[in-house]
Amino acid sequence: LQTENNLLWLDAYNANPSSMEAALRSFARWDHPRKVVMLGDMFELGAVAEEEHQHIINLALELGFNQVFLAGELFHQLTHNHAGIKSFLNSMQLQTYLKEHPILDSAILIKGSRGVMMERVADVL
């Protein structure tokens, strides 16, 4: 989606470890000078939830995006006060932050499980 300020890749309907990794790797190959990632928790992962979320965090940092934003209780728990990442308990908190700190002239990947409602952030981008 092209907004007035940014180019959005909105994939907020479903997320699992393999789709999240594929989206991050694909987005990393985009030719754009400023790439921002906004990810929401992945649900229904059971006993491997923490491990899989940590893998996605590590991958997002490894791929060298300009900014990484995370929303959801598990992502927030794993990254609270982490240098290089801004994390929020939910997408509403992220949306509020983005209203106060606009992002401009960026390509933005927005992805998360449906229950996190990451599409909310698109309204302020």
Q: 82 or 75: whose pLDDT is higher?
A: 75
Confidence check: pLDDT of 80 > 80: no
Give per-residue pLDDT as tens, 106-125: 999 999 999 999 999 999 99
For 91-107, how does the pLDDT look when each residue is reduced to its tens digit (9 = 90+)? 999 999 999 999 999 99
Tokens describing residue 102: 């606009």
Digit-coded pLDDT (tens) for 27-45: 999 999 999 999 999 999 9
The alpha carbon of 74 is separated from its chain's Cα centroid by a whole number of angstroms, namely 13
